[in-house]
Chains A and B, each alone.
Chain A
Amino acid sequence: MVRPVATNIRALTLALAVAFLVASVGVAYWTMFASESLAQDPFNPRLIAASRDRPRGQIVDRNNAVLADSVPTPDGFKRTYKDRTLAQVTGYASFQFGLSGVEAAYADSLIGQDAADPASAWRARYLRERLPPGAVVLGIDEKVQKAAADALGGRRGAIVALDPRTGVILASVSVPTYDANEIVDATKQQTAWDQVTKAQDKPLVNRATSGLYPPGSTFKVVTGAAALESGFDPNQKLRVDDPYQADKSWGTYFVRSASHAHGDFSMPDGFRLSENIYFAQVGLRIGAAKLADYAKRFGVGGAPACDLAAAKGQLASEGSIDRPTLLADTSYGQGELLVSPLQMALIYATIANGGVMPTPHYATSVRDNQGHVIREIAPGPIGQVIRPDTARALTAMLVGAVEGPGAFAFGAKIPNVHVAGKTGTAENVPGSAPHGWFIGFAPAEQPTVVVAVIVENTPEGGVTAAPLGAAVMRAALNK
């Protein structure tokens, strides 16, 4: 007996009804549950469209100098950007290519819907009413920013300066840069976009937060901190003979000394003369677990909790330091380490700040259209990373690394101010010149500025970078 067709029709109808129910659930998901995250997507044209027929909020620096503004044109409001050296920081708000930088990170605030004012977001969402937007205030200090931009000049690299007590970023330069005005200009945008996205040296990348480099000798403070807190005596002399290997199992592998040293070194000597073999031996004594522990405490291998997008670094490519040669290399900042200038600045800020790591941030407040502050951006410190006495001891040795006899970082000296700092000459791709680092802070007794400088592919390495750091610190200290 064949089933009557009617029975089959009923079964099929039921199946279709269930399918319609599933489709409605899917539509409910996108329209209501995923709605928030879709609205926040920097490439959602609705965020930017809100600023075509009304002004988008200003981005200003700490002295209220306007960095990004909306000006009326016959076709609606047009965004203009005033400081090319801050192109990657302020970013762009393009109808075509979406948002980046502060334009993306504070997209809500810039269209008058700051998170601190949920009523405005609610009004915008359900009543389609938006208040005229106010401004996002950055901690950028024009004077320091200019000093950093001038110091780096046309050299590829980055400089970031911040206040170690608060984490406020005072200056942020990334070279090469681009003109954000062209990215938002309807007539030039496609050409400009093709040019910057195809360029080999990636001008859109904010090298300060998202450039990843081997830290070289600037990383030795991490090894030093781990050793000091493991009870290692910094005054104990270790024998250095170039080239060095711990035992025959290393085969043809050696750690080399930059100065081809032969002699007995203490930790202050190691910092002052930037002796790789000394720190390799320290690392081997304290062990991989201890070094990895301190690297992680300092945030190496993670992404700094910054308000703008920041890249995640790397301690070792496999995630752990799994062999003695890698331990030795990591101890003096090579191996498989990758860090951003911002990450290194934070490590030195921790030392400058008595062992407490601050949270880095570009913006300091959001104002409404009346100029009233509706949100202070002052994230508390990340936490106590090392003991205050460890921080003091490291500071003293870093002052020696700048001011001591024969110090590598002599170029960072400032008259009448004690400067603590460390150069680095980071080997990268075989065959190309090393990257030059300088990271330091001043005044050493009560630091108010930390600066991290990287100059890509410079034969002189850290020697090139140190004077640039000095110029930025002088601007910050008015010296």
Chain B
Amino acid sequence: MRSRGAAPRAALHVGAVRGGSSGGGAPRTAGGGVPRRRTAELGLLVWVALLALAGFAAVVGAETSAFGPAVIVVPAIYLGLVLALHVFLVLRRFRGDQLLFPLAAALTAIGLVLVQRLASDLLLQQLSWALIAGGAFVATILIPRDLTTLARFKWTWAFLGLVLLVAPLLPGIGREINGAKIWVKIGPGSIEPWEAVKLLLVIFFAGYLEEYREVLAQAPRRIGRFPVPPIPYLLPIIAMWGMAMVVMVFEKDLGATLLFFGIFLAMLYLATGEAFYTLIGLALLLGGGFVAYHAFPHVAARVDIWIRPFADELRFGAGYQLVQGLFALGNGGLIGAGLGNGLPERIPVVWSDFVFDAFAEETGFLGAAALLAVYLLFVYRGMLIALRAPTTFLQLLAAGLSFIVALQTLVIVGGNARLIPLTGITLPFVAYGGSSLVTNWMLVALLMRVSDASARIRGT
């Protein structure tokens, strides 16, 4: 049980440094009380501001929506929020990564511009969610005094995750929207609890795998070249995944199922380095997909739409949305129609499901590739934070969180561009939707906390 001993030592170490320098979370209590400048971040935020203002100006100039006070007030409030968060980080003498925050802020700004472009009546709602997301970001930066304590409560997170997963199935509070039962009624609105579950799942996996990864990776027996994992240690993790799968089958959400499976495989690989587990997992995925194709009509329908969306019986029916999305992509060309000059509003529910195609139509391949580059940069930065993290738990946590953003982007962009069947996953930060925006900002905060922890240990 070497691993059991190693982790707590590292945790103590981090805890000591963290506690010593910032003195229990109150700003300006240690290190001379001088705010720590975040010059790179501030410089990048200037570009974010320009991007947001140019975007709103272009959409208003193209006269796709009526000119109203919201068009000026919304970007002003949003940029005020971004600046306030930056000042908060500076005052708190936060030492974490300076790139992630501007990247996420830029993506959220693009999201607001696109909501104004595609569904301007939802703009104020999306701005409110951005404000709540900002609050969640601050809370995540402040509240867990030591990230390592997250690992200690891993079973709590697992239990909470399961409760949230099952919640939409409970009568009374669960809601079904567009065939998927993934919503929970809260007051006048509704939220998607699985957005939070993905974070809890990564925290649980990181905590569990840190403890047992050596046992899992050094299989005592091998059949030929293949390791036979010690089943008792694999069991909790499989059980967790299995329950997620079953619930997802009942809630009829392919996207979330794919995301959970992806997180499971990626975390297992990150912890053990056994490509064999990944291969088995992919085989299971294909097998499960095959069974689901024959067993569940809603899965079969998705696959049919993917294979032949232009068939006459599909293009006016179930495949209408995808075909309209492809038309939008086709209108993009190299440089796009220009913000406000395309016709993406012909795609049903474009503001949440097909926001990528809408963006690609109006900014062209160059715009779409640039957007993908922003995501890749975000993921790269997150993985870099993982590499530099001081403990295995924090490494697994940061890599897992970055992987969520990568996988979500790939699954929805792949679905929008007909590379894989379409699922209901949202484009992180950009697509309209509150639950997603809030959890993604918490994810950013967690990644920055990991980075902050390593910076403090290294003394940089």
Contacts and interface: CB of A to CB of B under 8 A. Distances in A.
A26 B419 CA distance: 7
Contact of A45 (B327, B380, B414): B327
B331 A39 contact: yes
Interface string A341-383: 0000000000000000000000000000000000000000000
A9 B395 contact: yes
B273 interface: yes
B387 A6 contact: yes
Interface stretch (B134-142, B290-298, B364-372, B428-436): B364-372
A116 interface: no
Interface in A1-36: 2-3, 5-13, 16-17, 19-20, 22-24, 26-32, 34-35
B422 interface: no
Nearest to B323: A43
Interface in B328-351: 329-335, 337-338, 341, 343, 346
B270 A31 contact: no
Contacts of A128: 337-338, 341
Nearest to B273: A3
A24 B356 CA distance: 12
Contacts of B364: 31
A45 B24 CA distance: 60
Nearest to A45: B346
Interface in B228-258: none
Contacts of A29: 417
B98 interface: no
Contacts of B271: 5, 8
A24 B372 contact: yes
Contacts of A477: none
Contacts of B273: 2-3, 7-8, 11
B266 interface: yes
Interface string B308-337: 001000010000000110110111111101
A125 interface: yes
B379 interface: yes
Q: Is the interface of A mostly helix, strand, loop or mixed?
A: helix
A262 interface: no
Contacts of A7: 273
B211 to A, nearest CB: 13
A4 B330 CA distance: 45
B217 A27 contact: no
B53 interface: no
Nearest to A35: B330
A138 B368 CA distance: 43
Nearest to A95: B346
A12 B383 contact: yes
Given A5-B396, A16-B379, A27 B372 contact: yes
Interface in A39-61: 39, 41, 43-46, 49
A13 B327 contact: no
A6 B392 CA distance: 9
A43 B319 CA distance: 13
A285 B382 CA distance: 82
Nearest to A7: B273
A13 B375 CA distance: 13
B343 A31 contact: no
A258 interface: no
Contacts of A9: 270, 383, 386-387, 395, 399
Contacts of B315: 43
A38 interface: yes
Contacts of A5: 213, 270-271, 392, 395-396, 399
B120 to A, nearest CB: 19
Interface residues of A, number: 39
A295 to B, nearest CB: 30
A6 B388 CA distance: 9
A314 to B, nearest CB: 21
Contacts of B218: 2
Contact of B269 (A8, A37, A126): A8
A125 B338 CA distance: 12
Nearest to B380: A13
Contacts of B332: 30-32, 35
Nearest to A5: B395
Contact of A46 (B331, B369, B379, B413): B331
A30 B217 CA distance: 42
B413 A23 contact: yes
B410 A27 contact: no
B329 A30 contact: yes
A44 B327 contact: yes
A7 B269 CA distance: 11
Nearest to B361: A31
B419 A23 contact: yes
Interface string A45-85: 11001000000000000000000000000000000000000
Contacts of A12: 266, 269-270, 383, 399, 403
A205 to B, nearest CB: 14
Given A27-B329, A30-B417, A46-B331, A2 B272 contact: yes
B214 interface: yes
Contacts of B409: 20
B218, B375, B380, B386: most-surrounded residue (chain A CB, <10 A) = B386
A12 B380 CA distance: 11
B197 interface: no
A140 B414 CA distance: 48
Given A12-B383, A20-B376, A31-B364, A39 B330 contact: yes
Contacts of A26: 413-414, 417-419
Interface string B206-229: 000000011001100000000000
Contact of A31 (B310, B333, B341, B418): B333
Contacts of B392: 5
A20, A22, A29: most-surrounded residue (chain B CB, <10 A) = A20
Nearest to B364: A31
A6 B410 contact: no
A28 B337 CA distance: 15
B360 A22 contact: no
Nearest to B216: A2
A31 B334 contact: yes
Contacts of B387: 6, 9-10
A19, A39, A128: most-surrounded residue (chain B CB, <10 A) = A19
Nearest to B310: A41
Interface in B385-443: 386-387, 392, 395-396, 399, 403, 406, 409-410, 413-414, 417-419
Nearest to B213: A2
A23 B414 contact: yes
A20 B369 CA distance: 10
A32 B332 CA distance: 7
B175 to A, nearest CB: 29
Contact of B395 (A6, A11, A19, A44): A6
B337 A23 contact: no
Contact of B334 (A10, A32, A41, A49): A32
A45 B343 contact: yes
A84 to B, nearest CB: 25
A475 to B, nearest CB: 37
A3 B272 CA distance: 7
Contact of B217 (A3, A22, A125): A3
A27 B413 contact: yes
Given A2-B213, A13-B380, A19 B396 contact: no
Contacts of A37: 330
A2 B333 CA distance: 48
B433 to A, nearest CB: 21
9 contacts: A2-B272, A9-B387, A10-B387, A12-B403, A24-B369, A24-B372, A32-B332, A37-B330, A128-B337
Given A6-B387, A12-B269, A27-B417, 13 more contacts: A2-B213, A7-B273, A12-B399, A17-B376, A20-B375, A23-B414, A24-B368, A32-B365, A34-B326, A34-B329, A43-B315, A45-B343, A128-B337
Nearest first, the 5 closest Cβ-Cβ pairs linking A and B are: A38-B330, A3-B273, A30-B329, A31-B332, A31-B365
